[in-house]
Each structure stands twice: as C-alpha cells, then as structure tokens.
Structure 1
Amino acid sequence: MPSNEQRRAAAKRKLERQLARRAEQEKKRKRLTIAGSVLGVVVVAAAAAGVYFLTKGGDEDSTAAESSSTVPTTQFVNTPLDLPGPPPPAAKPATVDCSYPADTEPAAKPVTPPATTTVATDGPEVKVSIDSTQGPIGLSLNSAQAPCTVNSLVSLAEQGYFDQTSCHRIVASPGFGILQCGDPTATSGGGPGYSFDNEYPTDLFAPDDPALSQPVNYQRGVIAMANAGTSPEGKGTNGSQFFLVFGDTELAPNYTIFGTIDEAGLATLDKVAGAGVKNGAKDGPPAMPISFNTVTVG
C-alpha cells in the first residue's frame, strides 16, 4: 500500500504534469493565434495594396504656376495607361464634328481656327516632324483616338503657328517628366484664340465619375494636351499647349493623349531633361533652352 506521503507525491507530480501540459497548450494556442493574426494582416495588406495600385491618388509634389494652360506636378510611378475600370474606347464614326469656340483672349499669333465638320477619324496616323534647336522630334498623331485635338494641332502646324517658338516649361524629377511647348509667348498664357474639349482618356468616363480624380499613367513617349486644370475646370480649355512626356508620369485622366514621340525625339528630350530646370528648380524653364525652328506635317 502506498503511504499518504507517496500518494501526495504522486498527486503532486500528476498535477505538475497537467500544469505543464496546459502551459504548453496555451503557448501553442498563442502561437497559432499570432500566426493567424499575422496571416490575416498579410492578406488584408495584400488586398489593400492591390486596390491602392489600381486606384491610388496622391498629393502634388510642387505647386504649378498659375496659367491658362498648366499640368500639375504630381509624383507617381506606375505602368503605362492602365485605366482603372472604364472599357477600351469605342470606335468612332468615320467622321466627327468638332467645336472650337472663341476665347476672350486673342490668339498669340495670327491664326485661323480649324474646320469643324467632317473631321476624319479613320485615316492613318498623322506624322509630324519637329526641327528643334536641340535635335529632331518626330510625332505620330492618333486621329482615331483624339480627332478634334489632332485636327487642331495639324491646322496650327500647317499655318506655322509653332515655328520659332520656345518650350517654356520642364519638370524633370523621379516619377514625373514632361516638357511643355506650344505657347508662342513662352509665358504659359498664350493660346490660339479658341479652345476645345478633352478627348481620350477623359471621354471614357462619365462627367461625375470619381475615377476622374484618380491618376492614370501617362507613359514615357506620349503626347498630351495641357489645359487650365482638372475636370470640370479643364474640360473645355485645351488650346495650343501640349506636353511631351519623357518620363513615366501619372496624372488624373483630364489631359488628352493624342499621339506618341519617336526614339530620336526621346533622345532629344532626354538631353534637355538631363540639364534639368533653370536655377535648379523643380518646375520651370529648361536649363537647356529648346525652341522649334519648324513643325512640319507629313
């Protein structure tokens, strides 16, 4: 017969084993809980990251100068023209009518407004050659995507509007690279004496679509119109100013994309961008001045 002392010792050992098992089980439970929580956080973070990169917006890196035609200087990096939601642009009819209402300000150079009816959308891309003081810049303009914009730019080029004009603004920083041109006064305030509405990609969205305030990707090598601000303020304020994108840049889809720049043109832009902004600023006149000697269609 075990003595009372032996029974007490055995009971104590049994209790100690039970307490040890419970402690180990509690440790395992806590480890599983923590692992589950971490996994949940990772899953939530991954989902949030996916939504963020599809629809992210951001603050401007610097304040753009107030003018009749500006592009905000935001800081984003992403992939090209990844529109967050809208379908691809629907095919336009073979011809469209455009509207170019007169501005209150006169044209910076004498010019006649372009034709407004039966503007073709189904022809080949329009080739434009720019002879600049820093090298050649070749453009391909997309009439199917932005017929009224291309119609205006071709008309202005054929009238010599862009000849002997300077590119007055450059932004050359990580995630944002544009050279802004098309103002004969080189003040950011000059225009052709008329204005017109945005086209692609703005026309893919309803006017009240929240996506109009979200950034889309303006890839290195595209050409887009500058205007007086974001929708609805900038909707009908396109004129003659445009920006040549030499670095992937994200902007709200309120700036009409109407063509692309060739490799020789990008090399010219890279040279100008490499010199930076005058006086070391983030946004302003290029430190290496660049002017258009001639702009020729065809």
Structure 2
Amino acid sequence: MDNKRTNPFIIIGLSLFSLACILPFWLVFTISISNETDVTKHGYSFWPKQIDLVAYRYLLQDSASILRAYGVTILVTIIGVAVSLFITSALAYTLSRKDFPYRGALSFYVFFTMLFSGGLLPWYLVYTRFLGVQDTLLALILPGLIGGFNVLIMRTFFTNSIPPSLIDSAQIDGASEYRTYFSIILPLSLPVMATIGLFTIVAYWNDWFTSLVFINNEKLYSLQYLLNKTLMNAAFLQAIADKAYSNTATVAQPLESIRMAMAMVAIGPLVLVFPFLQKYFVKGLTVGAVKG
C-alpha cells in the first residue's frame, strides 16, 4: 500500500473547512467597503454592489486617537503576556511538583477561582481603593495577569510531559530550583507557553471592559474600547438625527459598515501573530492532554 498518496476526500474536506474559515473574514471585509444603503436594502453579500469607503474615512477622521490606542494596546499586550506567562508557569510548575507540601490545597484554591468570584464591586474597589491603579496602564495589565484555567493547563503539561527523573538529575548535578526552572523546564515548555501565550494575547487584545471601568484618560484608551466608543457615538448621533428630522429624509450613518470596518482594523495584528504560534498551539493542547 502506498502511504505517500493522500486521500482525495481528506483534501476536499480540509479545503471546504478552510473555505468556511475564510468566508466570514471576506464577508466582514465586503460589508466594510459596501454602501450602507445597499446593505440595508439587500442585506449581506459576498461581493459589494457599490464600493464605498465612507466607513474607513469615518475612522480616519480620528486616526491620531486610533494610532495612540493601538500603541496602548500593543504595549499592554506585550507586557501583560510576558509577565502573565512567567507567573502562570512558575505557579503551574510548583503545583506539578509532587514534593510540594501545599500542592493539594493550592490547586484547590486555583480551581475555586474558576467557579466563584467576588463580584464586580469588590473587584473595582480592590484596584481603585487598595492598589490605586485607576487611570494607569497597570489597570489594564493587572486584572488579566493570571487565570485558573491557564494554570491548570500548564500544570497538566508539566506533570505529563516533564519526567521527574530529569528534575532529579539536575538536582543531583547541583542545580538549584531556579536554575532547573529557567534552564530546563522553560526550554522544554515552548508548546504550552505558546498556547497559553496565544490565549493571553487574545484576551488582552480584545479587552475593552477594563478600560470602561478604570480608564477616564482618553490617552490611555485601549483600541477595542475606543472603537466601541466610536460606534456608540455614531449610533447616538444617528438616533438624535432621526428624532430631530423624523418627517424629512436624513443621511444615514454607515453604522453597519463602520462596525465591520472596526473589526477589520482591530483584527489585523492577531491574524499576523497566529501563523507563527499555530504549530506550538496544536502541540501544546495535545501533548499535555494524554499521559504517556
């Protein structure tokens, strides 16, 4: 049997699956460059009946704020992901060690945070009254630094994929716990680090609620919050115009086109990052899932 030949049904299936993944992005793009009147009359279409870039021109009117928000979001994402990976991996590695005396209690505490939370008001008071990070970049970084789900995934990877004998050998050779962690554990954990890193990147990049709660300074707005605020302003202006000129024809704001244009503006960097992390992403989810 020739194993080099690929089943044509697999090729057809993967092609259809790839097309199903690409079509939504194409639909969003076509709506973003479509005339709002055509979208209202004919609904969504995979090909614009009339190309109109008014939505992008609307966003470019506030290009300085968008570029500044891009910078804030990129900075917060880079710092947040780096610190989050360090804290998450350190905690997960500690929980994976069977000789750690408080392993069970601390694991339960991490799991408990996935089921219950203190609520919005205590969460707000901790960061504003006790930590005093309101209207600072720390307010955008600290809330997303660590998550129980990420810790448990990484702990499972360490438990099933890092042989205890490797750690014992390092200790016999005189390596300290810190040396073992930085020189042996982390280099062997690239798949799970890339997986959790991708989760964290998406979480930080798409976060708009934290800016809504903690940020009043317009120079510190994240990209997602700024775009969301822009859309709400456009909808508000349209509602006022409809009420003021209810008996006469008014020029409609391209709300649907603006919404799709904002999605295209916001999703760009994530589309560029994912291909570089894809192979680690798949391996990180599968290697730690089955005990060898």
- Report the TM range for the smaller structure's normalisation: under 0.3
Identify which of structures 1 and 2 has the higher relative contact order when contacts are C-alpha pairs closer than 8 Å and 6+ apart. 2
As a proportion of its length, which structure holds more strand?
1
Per the normalisation by structure 1, the TM-score is: 0.22
Structure possessing the higher radius of gyration over alpha carbons: 1
